[in-house]
Homo-oligomer: A and B are copies of this chain.
Amino acid sequence: MITDKIGLRVKELRTELGLSQEKLALKAEIDRTYLAGVEQGKRNPSVKSLEKIIYALGVKFSEFFKDM
């Protein structure tokens, strides 16, 4: 499912940056438990919520989705 793929990609980029879920959530101005749910593919984020996460990861949408 797309939510699983997105979750894995968020986790991949977050760990590449050496950021904890707490740090990334703070940067993205979202709740830590919400971010955890997204990483686990349990949430179906809106594009605006996803945008916050993607920008906090320091990438563009094209880079985020490049292998999907």
Residues of A at the B interface (CB closer than 8 Å) are 1-3, 6, 44-48, 50-51, 60-62, 64-68
Assembly stoichiometry (copies): 2
Instruction: Among B2, B48, B61, B67, point to the contact of A51 (Cβ < 8 A).
Output: B2
Q: Are B44 and A47 in contact (CB under 8 A)?
A: yes
Known: A1-B48, A46-B47. 6 other contacts (CB 8 A): A44-B48, A47-B47, A61-B65, A61-B68, A62-B65, A62-B68
A1 to B52, CA, bound (A): 12
- Nearest CB in chain B: distance from A58 CB, A: 15
Interface centre among A3, A45, A46, A64, by most chain B C-beta atoms within 10 angstroms, is A46
